[in-house]
Each structure stands twice: as structure tokens, then as C-alpha cells.
Amino acid sequence: MTSAPNTDPPRAPESLSPLALQVRLAQVLQGRCLSAAQTYFDAVGAANAAWLEAARPRPAAAALGDAFAYWTDFAQRSVLFWDTLRKRGNNWLAHEKAGKPPLLAFGWTMEADARTFARPVNYALVRVEAPPGTRTDADKRPYVIIDPRAGHGPGIGGFKPDSEVGVALRAGHPVYAVIFFPDPVEGQVLADVAAAEAAFLRLVRERHPTRGKPVIVGNCQGGWAAMLVGALDPDCAGPIVVNGAPMSYWAGNDAENPMRYAGGMLGGSWPALLASDLGGGRFDGAYLVDNFEYLNPANTFFSKNYNLFAKIDTETERYLEFERWWGGYFLMNREEIKWIIDNLFVGNKLSAGDAEFAPGHAVDLRAIRSPIILFASLGDNITPPQQAFNWVADLYRTTEELKANGQVIVGLMHRSIGHLGIFVSASVARREHAQIVDLLEYIEHLPPGLYGMQVEEQRVDGVVRYDVVLTERQVEDLQALQAYARKDEIPFAAVDQVSAFNAALYEALVHPVLAPLVPPEAATLARVLHPLRARRWAISDLNPFLAPLKGSADLVRAHRTPRDEAGLGAATERLVAAGVTASWDLYRQLRDAGVETLFYNTYGPMSLAMGSAAARPEAAAPGLGRDAPAVREALSRIEEGGFTEAVVRAALLAARASRSPRRLSTFKRVRELVGRDVGLLDLPADEAHRLVERQAHIVAHEPERALETLPALLRTAEERRRLLGLLGRIFEAVDLKPEQRALVPAFERILAPAPEPVRAAPSQRTGRAERRARAVEG
């Protein structure tokens, strides 16, 4: 898990006086500034050392030749660099003219257009076509990919052949994608969007009825959209895979996740309302992309372009392909962005059950009945692991509560990949996403609980093979993800109240005056002139001053002179680049430290004044332990069932004896060994899950009775012998722990076939009576 930084924010703001809080925050800021300065000097020092290594004295002729070669290469790269930006601008114009279609690396066909629904929205369902050489099986469970509507357009889940879409297609699954169009339908709200997505899922299920509910894959904000659909209409949602999705918006670690302070520093939701009014009732997604870009100014203003400039011969195509997606900005209705900010970004109401789609109708994530896989990364500073996982602890205060609700949640943590890498990295797709696809059938047969997922890599004769290991975790373990026992979230409740106050003032005093003054033409012009768009169309063939650029670039490519990477000129360039990057990073660290300190200086005392009202109220927990309705129902049926229930119960008893990690490879081996003998795989997914859940409650709360009543599930001696034989084959095929092997004699004792009743030999008198009866009948 993440390690705590060297300098701490207030560990328990509610226990500090305002003056003590101010002193503590000043100490933290001082420590952050010193740490930022040290990081800067370390980076510059390392760059200087590398430059000195390359700056050894050389003969004058060699030095002169190196300088000539470097500056020739520099001039050529400059021409190719600007020509690449010109191509980027042309691609942007072509994409805009085409209506900004989804940037999928696969063909697709429209299946349903929600613009024609009774409550129209700018969404549609498309079926992704398998590439040549790949065949899908209509009887396999379908996948539905929901991409984020967070400023950019759809397609990130299938942006490359090696992607979430690609691995699902290669596994033979039909794949559908939920796309959206650039302009929202007038009056659409998030409730309409969720209803349309639920209708899409029902349509997919009708097309593929043999394998249960569709798997939903939600990326970033598409993740909470998938969770909303799963909660609002659990009958149409299968397993839910949530990739890099911010579900608990107040969460994060100090000095690591500065975006969580943005709502407080902007005063809440009113700037988004102002932007919507200036946009003629439409919120421009370019503002959201701006937030992402300012998160890492070194990359935005220098490193990304310098990487292209330094590797202009090899980086051009990748750069242009990514910019096609990054430069597509989509719009939202004013009502949509307001709901998102009030309930998620600032209000953080989803996990508390306070997010209402209609008055009096809140979303309860406990209604989700399907297994959930959460994928996050320690290297993600947009959606840190705390935001991806902490909602589980908000929803279920204890592991017992989660199990009582019958929920299966699996968490997967990457060590280093960034936010976008979760969706677009080919290596992540081949490793993590491929294993998630492989795992889904297995997790539907897991007993309720929270599991940690780890992907193990093995190389055998140069061939890479993966295995998945699931280790049962405790909900209480999630506290370790965030420092200070989440006490640093308390001031965010004050942000929520400030936001509501400021938004009410804006709606009462500004909106009625401003909104009628902005004509649609002015809003459109403002969007065209937004810097993120202007930098694209201004450097394109629309600019007559760039007319000679294409010919110059063609000439350079025909006479390309690569540079000497070991020369002094190249070393000096790398030194300057490292210095610029380090300077931007120093600015970012000082900026983030200052913003964080200002945030706690502003809202910390405010939350102290509000006292306990600032803390999130705990959700009412259902009955726990033996008092939970599901547990009581399961225990009342402890002697009910058949052969399938008996096998599942025996397997759960064996697993409980050791609590060792579960391996996907072991599940596959057992499945190949027993085939369809158990009957669990032949059941519908929901029925199989309920069966496993019921037996898990029995084993967890009455393990002794679960073992002793096992024969009651087997009606004949033949079934007992069959179960013993099946368990014997399984135990021989898997590696049992000593405590599991100790159960074998218990199973043999309990399941030993009862002796056949001994019939007495017929007496002579009885024999005569029988002969007399037969004679009478004759």
C-alpha cells in the first residue's frame, strides 16, 4: 500500500485548537518546501553529472564536426516537429468535421440510438466487430464497455488492438460499447442517461440469453456510471469491472493527490455553473481537460512536446494517435455537470447513499448483487487508490457487514502505471485486463467477501504465463490506504456546505441575469477560441503562414541526418531539458503544498467550528452476523439441498480450514478434473452465486453443524460414494495444507456409506406360508 509521506497534515483536526492547527500547517508547509527544493537540486545535480561525463575534452576537428551534426539535426527536428503539430491540427479539423466519432481501433455497428428514446439522451450502443482472424461466440457472456464522459469522447477502452476491448474479443466474447455524441440532448439529465444505459444492458441480454447478465466495464467516470446502473437496475447488470474510477472523492493522501482540493479552492460548484451559463447552458468538456493538464505542468508545457521533439523519427505516429483522442472535447448540459459536482466531486454522496436521481429516490450501492472488480494504481494521481477503494469502507463498516449483504469485491492494485495507462497501456491490457477477463467466471463462484487480486508472471522456455492469486482481505484493512485514519477528510464536509451556499447565491443573483444575455452564437465562438482548441486549428493548414511547412518537412525526410547521441550537443540538450523539467516540477510541488496548506487553513478551522456536524454520518447497518436475514435464512435450510450443495459446502469447509490464497490456475485444474459432475457450472450465474452464498453463510457461522449435516444433502449411499470419490480426485490434484488434509478423515467418517440392513434368513414356517400363498394365487 502507499507509504505515508515524511511530513504530516493534522492527524485529527477535530482535536486541535485553531491556533495549534495553524502552527501545525505551517510546519507541514515548511517541510514540503524543503522536500521540493531537495528534489530539484537532486534532479539538476544528476543532469549535471551526466553532462560532465559527456563534456570530456575532444580534438577540435571532432568537436567542430559534432557541433555541425548536432545543429543540422536540431534544425531538421524542428521542421519535423512543427510539421507534426500541423498534422495534429489537420487531424483535429477532420475529426470535428466527421462529428467526432468514437476512436475505437475496431469496426463497429450501431445497435441502439438513445436519441430516439422516449427520454432522449446523446448516447448509443454499438457492437464492436472482431478483427480478421478473431472469432467470437454468441453463446459466451457479452461485455459492455462504458467510457468516461469527462471532457473527452468515447473510445479509450478500445483505443488499441491490445486493450480492454481487444482482450475480450480474443477470448471469444461479444463486445459492445456505450458511446456518446458531442452535444447533449436539450434537457437530458443523469437519470435519463442511467435509464438509457440500463436499456442497453437489457438489449444485450436479450441478444445473448444463454450466459447470464452482461459484464459491465466502466473506465474512470464510466466506472461510477456502471455502478449507478448496477444499483438502479441490478436485474440487468452482471459482474462490474471498475477501472480507475473515483468513487470516494474526498479521499487521498497529502502531498500526493492535489485534485481533491480543487472544489474547495474554487468555492464549490458555482464556477461550473458560471461556465455553463457562458456556454449557453452547455458545459464545455475542455475545462475538465484543463484541470488534468494543470495537474502536471511539466508534462503539459514541456515534457510531452520535448519527448516528441527528441524522438521525432519514432514518436510521431503514437503522438498523433493519442492526440486524436485527447483533443476531442464534448459538452454536457448544465443540469448534468451540476449533479455530478454536487453529488460526487464536492458532495461525495454516492457511497453515503445520499445521491438522489429524483426527490426521495437515492442510489444505494448495496443493491448491487453482482461481483465487483476494482482496478487502481499507486501511480495514478487523478484517481488514487483511496478514491477507488474507500467507498467500500464507507458502505460497509465491517467485513461481516459486507458478507452479510452477499457481496463479492475484488481489488487489483498496479504498482506504478498512471491514470491513462490503466486504459491505454498495451502491457496493462495483456497482463491485468486479460487476467480480469479470465477471472470473471471464477469470482461468480466465490463466497462473499473482500479479496485482493495479484497477477503473478512466470516465464517458461521464453513463454510468459500468468496466474491470478486471490487473498481474502478485511474491510478494516482499507484504512491503511489513507494516512491519519481519514481524519483529513473532515474539512471536505465544510466544503460541501460552502459550495451549497455559494451555488444558492449564484442561482439567485447571477444566473437569472447572465443566462439570457449569452446568445448561442457567442457561446459557440467562446468554445472555438478556447486555448485547447485554438492551439490545434491555429497550427493547421487553415493557417496560410504554414503553407511552406509540408514541403520543407518532405525535403528533410528525404535528407535526414541523425545526430550523435553521445556528442556534447545532445548532452547539453538533455541537460537543459532536465533543468526545465525540474523547474516545472519544483513549481508544481510548491504550488500543491501552498494550495493544500491554504485549503486546511481555510476549511480546517471551519470544520472545527462545525464540530461533529462536519463528519460524515455513518450509514445505518443492516443486521449483522447471525441476525442478518440472509444468514438466518441460510441456517434455517442447513439440511436442505442436493449433491451440488454438498460439494460446495465441502469445498468451503476445506478452504476455511487453511484460509490460504485461492489460485485461478487451481480453479481451472479442478474444473477440468470434475467437468460438469458438480452441476454448479450448469446453473445460471445468479442461482450459482446464491447457492455459494448460502453455503458460505452456513460454513462461516455453523462449521461443525455444516460438516455433521453434510450427509443430509446426499440421499443415497451412491451419492456419498460419488462425493468421496470426487473429493479424493480434487485433493490429489491440488496442493493441500496440513490443516486441510486433517479434514480428509472427517469427510470419510461423515460420508461413509451406511451399512446395508441385514435381512434375517426366512424361517421354514415362513417358507411354507409363501408357497401356500403362491399356490392359492395359481
DSSP string, 522-570: HHHHHHHTSHHHHHHHSSSTT-GGGTTHHHHHHHHHHT-----TTSHHH
Say if residue 775's pLDDT is above 90. no
**Model pLDDT, residue 302:** 97
The verdict on residue 437 lying in a domain is: yes
Largest CA distance in the chain: 133
Considering the domain architecture, whether residues 37 and 120 belong to the same structural domain is answered as no
Considering the domain architecture, whether residues 605 and 747 belong to the same structural domain is answered as no
**Model pLDDT, residue 559:** 93
Mean pLDDT, the chain, integer? 88
pLDDT bucket at 766, cuts 50 / 70 / 90: very low
Count: domains in the chain: 3
The verdict on residue 109 lying in a domain is: yes
- Residue 753 three-state SS: coil
Considering the domain architecture, whether residues 104 and 148 belong to the same structural domain is answered as yes
Could you tell me which residue, 277 or 722, shows the higher pLDDT?
Answer: 277
Q: Is the dihedral of CA 59, 61, 66, 71 positive or negative?
A: positive
Decide if 601 contacts 494 (C-beta within 8 A).
Answer: no
The verdict on residue 273 lying in a domain is: no
Cell numbers at 117, concatenated: 428514446
pLDDT bucket at 14, cuts 50 / 70 / 90: very low
pLDDT in tens, 126-164: 999 999 999 999 888 999 999 999 899 999 999 999 999
**Model pLDDT, residue 111:** 96
pLDDT in tens, 549-573: 999 999 999 999 887 788 889 999 9
| Span of 126-135, 320-329, 410-419, 665-674 with lowest mean pLDDT | 665-674
pLDDT in tens, 484-508: 778 889 999 999 999 999 999 999 9
Domain boundary among 491, 511, 527: 491
**Model pLDDT, residue 441:** 82
Domain boundary among 491, 516, 547: 491
Helix (H) or strand (E) holding 356: strand 356-358
Considering the domain architecture, whether residues 86 and 187 belong to the same structural domain is answered as no
Q: Which of 429, 527, 554, 413 minimizes the C-alpha distance to 478? A: 413
The verdict on residue 480 lying in a domain is: yes
Considering the domain architecture, whether residues 103 and 70 belong to the same structural domain is answered as no
**Model pLDDT, residue 669:** 83
pLDDT bucket at 12, cuts 50 / 70 / 90: very low
Considering the domain architecture, whether residues 41 and 182 belong to the same structural domain is answered as no
pLDDT in tens, 443-456: 888 999 999 999 99
Say if residue 5's pLDDT is above 90. no
Could you tell me which residue, 357 or 197, shows the higher pLDDT?
Answer: 197
**Model pLDDT, residue 768:** 45
pLDDT in tens, 601-651: 899 888 877 764 444 445 445 456 778 888 999 999 999 999 899 989 998
Considering the domain architecture, whether residues 91 and 108 belong to the same structural domain is answered as no
With a pLDDT cut of 70, the percent of the chain lying above it is 92
**Model pLDDT, residue 483:** 75
Say if residue 761's pLDDT is above 60. no
pLDDT bucket at 771, cuts 50 / 70 / 90: very low
pLDDT in tens, 508-555: 999 999 999 999 999 999 999 999 999 999 999 999 999 999 999 999
The verdict on residue 325 lying in a domain is: no
Say if residue 211's pLDDT is above 80. no
- Distance CA(433)–CA(604), nearest Å, equals 41
The verdict on residue 635 lying in a domain is: yes
The verdict on residue 292 lying in a domain is: no
Considering the domain architecture, whether residues 657 and 706 belong to the same structural domain is answered as yes
**Model pLDDT, residue 728:** 84
Task: Give the number of other Cβ atoms within 10 Å of residue 117's Cβ.
Answer: 15
The verdict on residue 590 lying in a domain is: yes
In the 8-state DSSP scheme, what is residue 458? E
**Model pLDDT, residue 552:** 96
**Model pLDDT, residue 18:** 66
Domain boundary among 549, 580, 612: 612
Say if residue 7's pLDDT is above 50. no
The pairs formed by 165-169 with CB atoms below 8 angstroms and a separation of 24 or more are: 165/104, 165/105, 165/106, 165/128, 166/105, 166/106, 166/429, 167/429, 167/430, 167/433, 167/434, 167/437, 168/143, 168/217, 168/437, 169/106, 169/128, 169/130, 169/131, 169/134, 169/136
770 phi and psi, to 5 degrees?
A: -65, -40
Decide if 502 contacts 410 (C-beta within 8 A).
Answer: no
Considering the domain architecture, whether residues 344 and 440 belong to the same structural domain is answered as yes
Could you tell me which residue, 734 or 286, shows the higher pLDDT?
Answer: 286
Considering the domain architecture, whether residues 42 and 173 belong to the same structural domain is answered as no
With a pLDDT cut of 90, the percent of the chain lying above it is 63
Residue type, 543: N
**Model pLDDT, residue 354:** 87
Say if residue 117's pLDDT is above 60. yes
pLDDT in tens, 163-208: 999 999 999 999 999 999 999 999 999 999 999 999 999 999 999 9
Considering the domain architecture, whether residues 67 and 214 belong to the same structural domain is answered as no
End-to-end CA, the chain: 88
Say if residue 670's pLDDT is above 90. no
Angle at 712 between CA 707 and CA 716, to 5 degrees: 120
Q: Look up the domain containing 206 and give its range.
A: 99-260+330-491
Decide if 372 contacts 240 (C-beta within 8 A).
Answer: yes
pTM for the model: 0.89
Say if residue 731's pLDDT is above 90. no
Considering the domain architecture, whether residues 104 and 91 belong to the same structural domain is answered as no
**Model pLDDT, residue 205:** 92
**Model pLDDT, residue 214:** 93
Say if residue 773's pLDDT is above 60. no
**Model pLDDT, residue 681:** 76
**Model pLDDT, residue 129:** 96
**Model pLDDT, residue 2:** 40
